[in-house]
Amino acid sequence: MKRGLTRIVNWGQELLAEVVRPGDLVVDLTVGTGQDTLFLSQLVGLRGQVVGFDIQWPALLEAETRLTEKGVETRLQRDINSPLSGRAGADLVLLSHSKISTVVSSSPKAIIANLGYLPGGDKTIITQPDTTVAALEHSCRLLAVGGRMSVVIYPGHPGGAEEGLAVANFFSELRDGDFHVLQMKVSNRQQSPFLFVAEKLN
């Protein structure tokens, strides 16, 4: 099926779909309304597990509705400070993505993040460079060999360009022997979202 050339989110999803198999563990660092979370749950199927993070409870509730309507066993988690058990379904965690190592102890096959603010929510609540980079550092350590991480950056909102620079610097400093990093952007549209996908080599 032909997709629009500039649909960056779709490109990130497709590159994750190449490596994820039914039964895998996957992570959504920014649940939001749950669209990526649902996409990941469809990839891993009934035997796989999705762990999703967000700091806004209403976002998790909306995502829970989206997932349960599609038949995904979904568990809301709050006040959690220890690793989750490996159970099929989706665990939606009220926690900053920078705390991923607190909750995830196994090696995910895929990790996804759509940075910025909650669609339809408070635009002043945005992902921040320091916590985002911390989340990416932990994610790189946890990611399974052969696994991929997809990160979409939105430079058009206040704070987005600064976060994009921090993320770009982070990926540019990953050692070539450990990761391959792909960047996709619309070169003639400066405010468009852009994508990084990192694949772990060893």
pLDDT digits (tens, 9 = 90+) for 123-147: 899 999 999 999 999 999 999 999 9
Predicted confidence pLDDT, tens digits, the chain (202 residues): 556 777 899 999 999 999 999 999 999 999 999 999 999 999 999 999 999 999 999 999 999 999 999 999 999 999 898 999 999 999 999 999 999 999 999 999 999 999 998 888 888 999 999 999 999 999 999 999 999 999 999 998 898 999 999 999 999 999 999 999 999 998 888 788 999 999 999 9
Reference 169, options 129, 202, 200; nearest CA is: 129
Q: What domains are there in the chain, each with its CATH number? A: 8-200 (3.40.50.150)
Instruction: Check residue 21 and give its pLDDT.
Output: 98
89: left (phi over 0), alpha (psi -120 to 50) or beta: left
